[in-house]
Amino acid sequence: MSQLSDLLDPSAILLDAPAQDWRAAIRLSGDLLVSTGATDDAYTEAMIGTVEEHGPYIVLTPGFALAHSRPDDSVHRTALSFVRLAEPVPFGHSANDPVTLVMALAAADTSAHQAALAALAGVLADPEGRRALDTATTSAEVLTALGADSPAAGTTTSAATPSAAAATADDPTASAAPEGREPAAVDPDAVPSKHLILTVCGNGLGTSLFLKNTAEQVLDRWGWSSYLDIQATDTISAKGRATDSDVILTSGAIAETLGDVGVPVQVIENFTSQSEIDAALRRVYAV
């Protein structure tokens, strides 16, 4: 099985479940983690508290929320759960509401789940992969959509890594990558690059990694990956490190929390959209 589906126990998948509001939706996903022994109830409450503190930044692409909190003693192992809601539920996100899919991430440390989240971002960015999650009728079909080994997994797995052309189909201008040349200051008032981009979320280990993964794909397409480093971090660390970076990429809710940090803060609505991040980085680097 793929690393992503390895983290999702079949018994931690719940389809077409009713939820009155976003708190109930997160509790459903948290209860699944508890039932598999991955977490305690305290972690579920921490996931809800994260949204109460930082806003609905966990709704990182239309209709999809990634509930999570910081690693602590209530997390026993790294794991995921998957809930598809019977009816869409608003989380308070201005662009990506309402939510129909909620996944909960319990991370035992800050690194073990990074490859899995990169794979999940690929599934969500691909229309066929997302459609498979929206229409799955069994836990096995959900796991197949997420890359589990099965007779049907071949097409799903390849679809989970969309090509640059597919990822930018909604924005034809994004395909014109400035390949093969180092970022250059074209504005007379521009300052030298610090060669660092920060992607920021409340905890630095969930949605910021989604954003980091998509931004890296944009830089790969541009041919700039060797010139710029992208690091995922949390709001507290971002405030201290902001002036060492060229730009911060984050959600609207986190941008409000950060305030004026002395460098450009680009708000990204869809964390799996290469075209949106492409446009944001073009604004910053004047390309």
> How many domains is the chain built from?
2
State residue 149's pLDDT score. Answer: 58
- The neighbour count for residue 149, using CB atoms within 10 Å, is 12
Active site residue 195: no
Please answer whether residues 228 and 210 qualify as being in contact, where contact means their C-beta atoms are separated by less than 8 angstroms: no
State residue 153's pLDDT score. Answer: 35
The last residue of one of the domains, among 112, 142, 159, is 159
Amino acid making up residue 249: L
The enclosing domain of 13 has a CATH number of: 3.40.930.10
Domain check: are 120 and 134 in the same one? yes
State pLDDT tens for residues 253-274.
899 989 999 999 999 999 999 9
Domain check: are 232 and 209 in the same one? yes
The last residue of one of the domains, among 135, 159, 183, is 159
Domain check: are 20 and 123 in the same one? yes
Domain check: are 241 and 108 in the same one? no
State residue 172's pLDDT score. Answer: 41
Whether the per-residue pLDDT at 170 is higher than 60: the answer is no
CA distance 16 to 8: 17
Domain check: are 174 and 256 in the same one? yes
Domain check: are 153 and 20 in the same one? yes
3-state secondary structure of 100: strand
**Helices of type H across the chain:** 3-6, 22-35, 41-54, 114-125, 127-135, 139-145, 153-159, 164-167, 207-222, 235-241, 252-258, 274-285
Whether the per-residue pLDDT at 166 is higher than 50: the answer is no
- Of 75-84, 102-111, 183-192, 276-285, minimum mean pLDDT range: 183-192
The enclosing domain of 201 has a CATH number of: 3.40.50.2300
Domain check: are 11 and 149 in the same one? yes
User: The domain containing residue 227 runs over which residues?
Assistant: 164-285
- The neighbour count for residue 8, using CB atoms within 10 Å, is 25
Catalytic residue among 54, 68, 93, 113: 68
Domain check: are 178 and 251 in the same one? yes
> Model's pTM, two decimal places?
0.81
CA distance 48 to 99: 15
Average pLDDT on 16-36 reads 98
State residue 156's pLDDT score. Answer: 32
In the predicted model, what is the mean pLDDT of the chain?
Answer: 85
- The neighbour count for residue 158, using CB atoms within 10 Å, is 13
Domain check: are 38 and 129 in the same one? yes
Structure tokens belonging to residue 11:
């018994």
CA distance 202 to 236: 8
State residue 70's pLDDT score. Answer: 86
The last residue of one of the domains, among 122, 140, 159, is 159
pLDDT band, very low/low/confident/very high, at 204 (cuts 50, 70, 90)? low
Domain check: are 125 and 148 in the same one? yes
Whether the per-residue pLDDT at 231 is higher than 90: the answer is yes
State residue 43's pLDDT score. Answer: 96
